[in-house]
Every structure is written in structure tokens, then in C-alpha cells.
Structure 1
């Protein structure tokens, strides 16, 4: 579920507590979370609702002036069920804190093992350390340029970088990426 940045800021401040989406099937579930650029958003409930049953107060709680404005937003996708999603701030993104944790000993060995498994599962061979080295050498370079270096389509490259980000090894910049302290520690370690 994509949340526009301006709305996301209002969710994180507690001003917006609901969202409405029209889906063929929900893309979030009650009890789940969404990691965003501003932190984690907790999803407390996801309930089907008739478009005509949405009260004006709920439209305002979702950040709209009135139900007409909300209906206009939902009309962009005419097919599917309308869902009422209750949201709240869910805390900081755990990957942010992870970036500064420099692994040592067993934790480092476990992290290297995870990278080795990603390399072994790849149909194109080892890539994790090569990506880390390229990002370290070229911070802030557009993903398309980095992808070209590896002969990959940009979406494929970005998907792999997200796998590294999940481990706290990289962080996204307004343009491109950079290694975290954790990523640099991994890159500096020889895995024999």
C-alpha cells in the first residue's frame, strides 16, 4: 500500500488514522506493518466497507476534506472492494538502527552466511560483495548507472539492493545509495 509522503507525515504525527483503498484483494492485513521512509506504520484493521457508508468523520480522519473528495480519489480505480484501513505510527524502521550496528564474531559469521546463501541462490552467480563494493566506490550514483555496470535492468538491480538494505548493509539516498557502517564492516571482512 503506497502512502503519499504528505499523508505519511500526517499518519506519523497521528493526525491521519485511516486510509481507504479499492482493491480486488487487500494488499495489507490487520496486525501487519508497512516500512516507509518515515518509519513503520502499523495496520490495526482492514475492513470492507460500502463506498456510500463512509461517514464524513472517517473521510476527515483519512486526510480528506469531505466524502466527495475521498470518493473522487477512490474513483480512479473503479473495480474492486473499498476497504477501510486503520493506521497508526508503529515506531522507527528497525533497519535504520541496524545500519550502525557493526557485526563481530558470531553475528558477523551469520551475516556472511546469509550473503553466501544469496550468492548461491542467484542464477547469475555471486553478486552481494560486488554490489557492496560498487556502492561503496560510487555513493550517490543513480541506480540505472550502477545497474548498467552489472548488465542488469534497473528494477532487477534495485530489488537486489533492497535485499542488502534488509540486512542493514545499505541505505538509500535522494539519488543512489551508500554503504552503512554495517555494510562497510562486511565489505572489509574476507570471507574465506
Structure 2
């Protein structure tokens, strides 16, 4: 279920608690927890209902401008399908975020290494786990198709493998590509792999950037900014001055920062500090 960034921020703030979709059949079950850019969003209800039963209160709860706007939106896509009302609530931070930032102890490292070995042994195309981690470390914020090509893999199977690493907190997804987590770096360092990125500053904990588009993500990543807390050290004008950052990205950054209780540094004339 696709949910726009602004709607995710409103769900997190409690301003939106329902969504409406036209489906041939229910695609979600009550209790499902979806991982999103703002954290976990839980499905609290799934009810089929006729369009004529929609109310102004439904529109407000869904974040629509009006009841007419809600109905018009539902008529644009698959108008022949039934309408479902999906109850939603913010269910907390994605547990993988804390996992990514937790450097494993000796026992955890042993368990992760054994798990990586099992993945390599089970792979019909040969070992891939360490090579993938090293490639992501070398080329953060790089398109998945480009990384897959470097690995000699097709994009879907490469993404599937990266998702396995992400589940264990070894990588994190960016708006473009991926980034090695502190946990993933600890594994590579433990095994003595030569890392081209070893001299980089330690990964900073905090809230990942929202989806702001490829050019803006590249611009901020190149500037060393990958967390909202780092964005808050800059002024709006400093961020907007980065090549690739436009009004769309700035709007979504503001929304995400508001939801996280952060704001831009309010000194537009100051010299930008190093993130």
C-alpha cells in the first residue's frame, strides 16, 4: 500500500487515521504493520463500504481537502472496483533503525557471520554477502541497477539479496541506493576486509532522510548529510543552495522535520558548518 510522505507524517502526528483505496479484494489484514519512511504504521481496520456512505468526517480523517475531493480521487483510479476504508495508526519507530545503529558484541558478530556464511553456501550463484556489503560501503547512494551491474547480477535478485542484509540491520535504504550501517561496518571490520570507506567519520545515529527525490538525495549525501538531525544544523537557504535541492525536496524535509520535532538552523547568513 503506497502512502505519500506528507500523509505518513500526518499519520505519525495523529492527524490522519484512515485511508481509502479501490481494491478488487482486501490487500491488507488487521494487525499488519507496514514499514515506512516514518516508522511502523499499523492497520487497525479494513472495511468495504459504498462511496455514497462517505462523509465529511471521513474526508478529514483521510487528510482530504473535502468530501468532494475524496470522492473525485476515488473516481480517478479503477472506478469499477469496490472502496475499502483502511484504519491506520502510527505504531512506533522501525526496529531496524535501532538495530542498524547498535554495534554488535562478540556473540552477535559470531551469529551474524554464521548467518552470512549460510546465505553464501545456499546461493546457486556463489558467495555474495561480503561483496555486496563492500560494494555498498564503497558506493553509497548509488542506484541499485548500477550496483547490480557491478556485481554481475540482475536488479531484482540483487535487491532481494540486499533486503536480506537490511533485515539484519547491516544496511539501510536511502532515497537512491543504500548505505552501510554501523552494524554492517562492524562485521566487515571484524573479518578484516579492506574497506575503501574505512576513514569516513562514524555513522551518525538519528532519523533517516525522507523520500525527497534522487537529485536532492545525491546532493545531501555528497555533503555528508544522511540524517534529519544533520539537516537541522543547516539553514533553509544553505540546504536550498545545494545543487539538486528544490522546493519539492525542501517541502518534504520540512514535513519530516516537523514530525521529528526538528527545525532548520535559523541563521541563513551564517557560514555552513561541516555536517
TM-score (ref. length: structure 1): 0.91
Gaps of at least 5 residues in structure 1 are none
**Shift of the alpha carbon at 1:105?**
2.8
Of the structure 1 ranges 98-107 and 14-23, higher mean CA displacement relative to structure 2 is found in 98-107
**Separation of aligned partners in 1, 2:160 and 2:68:** 38
**Shift of the alpha carbon at 1:110?**
2.0
**Shift of the alpha carbon at 1:129?**
1.1
Query: Hey, which of these two has a bigger chunk of strand by percent?
Result: 1
Q: Does 1:136 align with 2:137?
A: yes
The aligned residue for residue 60 of structure 2 is 60
The aligned residue for residue 149 of structure 2 is 148
Structure scoring higher RCO (CA < 8 A, sep ≥ 6) equals 1
Poorly superposed stretches of 4+, deviation over 6 Å: none
**Separation of aligned partners in 1, 2:13 and 2:49:** 26
Residues 14 and 154 of structure 1: CA distance in aligned 2, closer, same or farther (over 3 Å): same
Q: What's the Cα RMSD here?
A: 1.8
The aligned residue for residue 71 of structure 1 is 71
Contact 1:23 1:79 in 2 (8 A): no
Q: Does 1:159 align with 2:163?
A: no
**Separation of aligned partners in 2, 1:27 and 1:189:** 43
Contact 1:35 1:93 in 2 (8 A): yes
**Separation of aligned partners in 1, 2:89 and 2:169:** 24
The aligned residue for residue 35 of structure 1 is 35
The aligned residue for residue 121 of structure 2 is 120
Gaps of at least 5 residues in structure 2 are 193-275
**Separation of aligned partners in 1, 2:117 and 2:82:** 43
**Shift of the alpha carbon at 1:85?**
0.9
SS at match of 1:91: coil
